[in-house]
């Protein structure tokens, strides 16, 4: 598998389509431990992303992910917009002018994205956030070179958020009452990696 601009564009298109289908489910997860807007937030953001990318000539992977980032930051309300936006922006910065990435090389760029999320949101693994799916997914991509493995790890990370107590974000206001629910951001991250597994060429 290799990831060039076309593969990354296919990734983004898959995410937008799947968010359209999963929006209600993600909103319901967020309604349990937050304010019920996570699916709507992201679906709106990725629809805007696709609108912007359509018709434009596909630039380098870095240019493409920067566009994704800036659009998410400017159109998605809530915590997840700036956090996912920073993820894509910092990943793009690590890409330089390279035209195509192996899974391991892409993982290194995504690790830069994770560092950006952690600088901004100050969360760690185990705080019941998107990071609990994202960190194992990117680790799997880096060590096994397989987006299918990464997608599986994201799903496992999502399931592992259920017994956790939220220590960051809106869900942390619930204290122990956040236990027993899946984190919506970890669920959207699992969706992101399910799409990545389909997108390589």
Burial state string for 120-145 with b = 16 or more CB within 10 A and e = fewer than 16? ebebeeebbbbbbbbbbbbbbbbebb
- Contact (CB, 8 A) for 156 and 136: yes
Check binding of 82 to ligand ADP (CB under 6 A): no
- Of residues 196, 140, 180, 156, the one with CA closest to residue 10: 196
Check binding of 185 to Mg ion (CB under 5 A): no
Check binding of 38 to ligand ADP (CB under 6 A): yes
Q: What interhelical angle do 147-160 and 131-144 show, nearest 10? A: 150
- Letters for 150-179 (x = contact with ligand ADP by CB under 6 A, - = none) are ------------------xxx---------
Q: Closer CB to Mg ion, residue 81 or residue 103? A: 81
Strand 3-4 to 100-101 pairing: antiparallel
Q: Closer CB to ligand ADP, residue 55 or residue 122? A: 122
CA–CA distance, 16 with 46 (Å, rounded to integer): 5
Partner that binds at residue 7, options Mg ion, ligand ADP, none, CB closer than 5 to 8 Å by kind = none
Segment interacting with Mg ion, rule: CB under 5 A, options 1-9, 38-46, 138-146, 157-165:
38-46
Check binding of 116 to ligand ADP (CB under 6 A): no
Position among 3, 14, 23, 30 found at the interface with Mg ion (CB under 5 A): 30
Residues 62-101 that bind Mg ion (CB under 5 A): 78
- Contact (CB, 8 A) for 34 and 187: no
When CB distances to ligand ADP are compared, the closest residue is 185
Position among 12, 19, 37, 192 found at the interface with ligand ADP (CB under 6 A): 37
- Of residues 20, 3, 1, the one with CA closest to residue 188: 20
The percent helix, strand, coil of the chain (3-state, each to 5) is 75, 0, 25
When CB distances to Mg ion are compared, the closest residue is 34
The footprint of ligand ADP (CB under 6 A) covers: 30, 34-35, 37-38, 41, 78-80, 83, 117, 121-123, 129-131, 168-170, 183-186
């Amino acid at each position: 598998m290799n990831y060039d601009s076309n593969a990354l564009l296919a990734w983004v298109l898959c995410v937008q389509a799947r968010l359209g289908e999963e929006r209600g489910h993600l909103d319901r997860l967020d309604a349990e431990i937050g304010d019920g807007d996570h699916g709507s937030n992201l679906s709106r953001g990725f629809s805007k992303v696709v609108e912007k990318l359509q018709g434009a000539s596909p630039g380098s992977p870095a240019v493409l992910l920067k566009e994704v980032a800036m659009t998410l930051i400017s159109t998605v309300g809530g915590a997840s917009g700036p956090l996912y936006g920073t993820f894509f922006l910092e990943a793009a910065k690590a890409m330089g002018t390279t035209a195509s990435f192996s899974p391991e090389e892409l993982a290194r760029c995504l690790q830069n994205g994770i560092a950006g999320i952690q600088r901004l949101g100050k969360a760690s693994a185990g705080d019941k956030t998107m990071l609990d799916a994202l960190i194992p997914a990117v680790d799997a991509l880096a060590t096994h070179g397989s987006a299918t493995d990464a997608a599986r790890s994201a799903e496992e990370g999502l399931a592992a958020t259920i017994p956790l107590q939220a220590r960051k974000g809106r869900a942390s206001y619930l204290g122990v009452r956040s236990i027993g629910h899946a984190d919506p951001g970890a669920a959207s991250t699992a969706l992101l990696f399910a799409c990545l597994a389909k997108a390589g060429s």
